[in-house]
């Protein structure tokens, strides 16, 4: 028995588009213990959502898993049939999507959509499922659950709909909840409420969460561990402290510098990361971040940086760290 609930090793995944192969994931490894919260941070297109979706076998059409292993509770997801996957989806692993406005089917009532998940994965009767749905709505903090059950998604506000999405996700008490930018489409005040609710429910139900976001503020307050992704690779991985206080990859450092802080001095500007992400149709030979990196070295452009492990958890892929080691080694000789 692995000590991890989720253990992704060297996942490689590509989208075969008419324009060519888009290498969406390259050698992505992630692991997560029961009850842990992992944040995956990165820009749009960095592969954070794809990583999470592939764990449910939800890779969209031209996407294809090319290698690596995805283990959930000692079962290999990558070898599962569609039928086996269906038993896991919504049952052991659930997901909350980014846009609650479009993620609920407009032609069915909220109750119908919550009950669907319950009826699929349990032996409950319709009446029992309805009770459970009411219970779930209360759990996610929706008042007048009986009235809400009969309402259609368009009759609810955005925050309310996201709560409904959470209720659907929690219907079968999953062991893992994937939250794909759950607050991006919501108002700032609602964002905080939804995040608070998620943390509350996590403590109550003891599930693990993978939090996908581009908001470092969100991960800082919620996550135990953080994976920073760039261009389909994990550039740095570590505990929240590692990432915020001992970050070693230039991209992570750049990200942290671009967050507004309370202790910023007046007239001090936020530092943006210049440049645009690489084109994954033609990935560069070296480090994908190199062209935007202010400390870029010759080797960065030609060779992929090796993994440098600082301890059991914290690692990074950056030539700068290797340079320090190299120079130390040269001195020792």
Partner 1 sequence: MAKYIVKRILLAIVTIWAVATLTFFLMNMVPGGPFLSEKAISPQATAALEAKYGLDKPMGQRYLTYMADALHGDFGDSLKQRGRTVMDIIKMKFPVSAKVGGVSVLVSLLLGIPLGCLAALKRGKTLDSIISVVATCGIAVPSFVICTVLMYFFGVKLKLLPTMGLTSLKHYVMPVMALSFYPTAYIMRLMRSSMLDVLGQDYMRTAKAKGVHGFKILFKHALRNAILPVITYVGPMLAYTVTGSFVVEKIFTIPGLGGEFIGAIQGRDYTLIMGTTIFLATLIIIMNVVVDICYKIVDPRIKLK
Partner 2 sequence: MNKNPLSFQLNLNPEDFLPASDEEKQSQVVMRESVSFWKDGMRRLRKNKVAMVSLVIIILVMILSFIVPSFYPYNYKDQIKGANNLKPMQYSAQELERIEAGEKVFPHIFGTDKMGRDYAIRVMMGSRISLLVGLIATGIILIIGSVYGSIAAFFGGWVDLVMMRIVDIIYTVPDILLIVLLSFALKAPLAALVNVPGFGWVKTVGENLISIFVVFALLYWVGMARMVRSQVLMLKESEYVTAARALGVSSGKIIRKHLLTNCIGTLIVTTTLQIPSSIFTESFLSFLGMGVAVPLPSLGSLASDAINGMNTNPHLLFVPAILISLIILSFNLLGDGLRDAFDPKLKN
The number of beta carbons lying within 10 Å of the beta carbon of residue 95 is 25
How far apart are the C-alpha atoms of 42 and 288, rounded to whole Å?
Answer: 13
Residues numbered 41-100 forming contacts with partner 1, rule: CB under 8 A: 56, 58, 82, 85-91, 94-95, 97, 99
End-to-end CA distance of the chain: 43
Strand ordering across the sheet containing 63-72: 20-32, 6-17, 63-72, 75-76
Q: Is 204 in the site for partner 1 (CB under 8 A)?
A: no
Q: Which stretch binds partner 2 (CB under 8 A): 65-73, 82-90, 142-150, 299-307?
A: 299-307
99 and 47 Cβ atoms separated by less than 8 Å: no
Least separation in angstroms between residue 103's CB and partner 1 is 5
The number of beta carbons lying within 10 Å of the beta carbon of residue 257 is 13
List phi, psi (to 5°) of 235. -90, -30
Which x/- pattern over 175-214 shows residues binding partner 2 (rule: CB under 8 A)? ----------------------------------------
Size of the site for partner 1 (CB under 8 A): 29
Q: Which stretch binds partner 2 (CB under 8 A): 95-103, 217-225, 233-241, 285-293?
A: 285-293
Least separation in angstroms between residue 76's CB and partner 2 is 26
List phi, psi (to 5°) of 323. -60, -45
Size of the site for partner 2 (CB under 8 A): 33
Q: Which stretch binds partner 2 (CB under 8 A): 32-40, 109-117, 153-161, 320-328?
A: 320-328
């Amino acid at each position: 028995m692995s000590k991890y609930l989720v253990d992704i090793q060297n996942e490689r995944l590509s989208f075969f588009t008419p324009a060519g192969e888009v290498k969406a994931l390259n050698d992505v490894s992630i692991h997560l213990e029961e009850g842990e919260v992992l944040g995956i941070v990165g820009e749009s297109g960095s592969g954070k959502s794809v990583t999470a979706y592939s764990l449910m076998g939800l890779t969209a059409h031209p996407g294809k898993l090319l290698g690596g292993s995805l283990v959930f509770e000692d079962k290999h997801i990558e070898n599962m049939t569609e039928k086996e996957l269906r038993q896991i989806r919504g049952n052991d692993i659930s997901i909350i999507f980014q846009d609650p406005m479009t993620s609920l089917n407009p032609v069915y009532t909220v109750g119908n959509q919550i009950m669907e998940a319950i009826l699929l994965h349990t032996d409950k009767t319709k009446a029992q499922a309805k009770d459970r749905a009411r219970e779930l709505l209360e759990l996610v903090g929706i008042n007048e659950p009986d009235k809400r059950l009969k309402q259609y998604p368009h009759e609810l506000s955005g925050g309310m709909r996201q709560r409904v999405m959470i209720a659907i996700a929690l219907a079968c008490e999953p062991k893992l909840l994937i939250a794909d930018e759950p607050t991006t489409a919501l108002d700032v005040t609602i964002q905080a409420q939804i995040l608070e609710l998620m943390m509350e429910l996590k403590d109550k139900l003891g599930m693990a969460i993978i939090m996908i976001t581009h908001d470092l503020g969100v991960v800082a307050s919620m996550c135990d561990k953080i994976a920073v992704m760039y261009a389909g690779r994990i550039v740095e991985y570590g505990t929240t402290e590692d990432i915020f206080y001992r970050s070693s990859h230039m991209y992570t450092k750049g990200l942290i510098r671009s967050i507004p802080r309370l202790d910023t001095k007046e007239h001090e500007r936020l530092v943006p990361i210049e440049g645009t992400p690489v084109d994954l149709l033609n990935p560069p030979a070296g480090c994908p971040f190199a062209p935007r990196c202010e400390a870029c070295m010759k080797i960065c452009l030609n060779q992929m940086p090796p993994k440098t492990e600082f301890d059991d958890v914290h690692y990074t892929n950056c030539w700068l760290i290797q340079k320090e080691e190299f120079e130390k080694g040269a001195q020792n000789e």
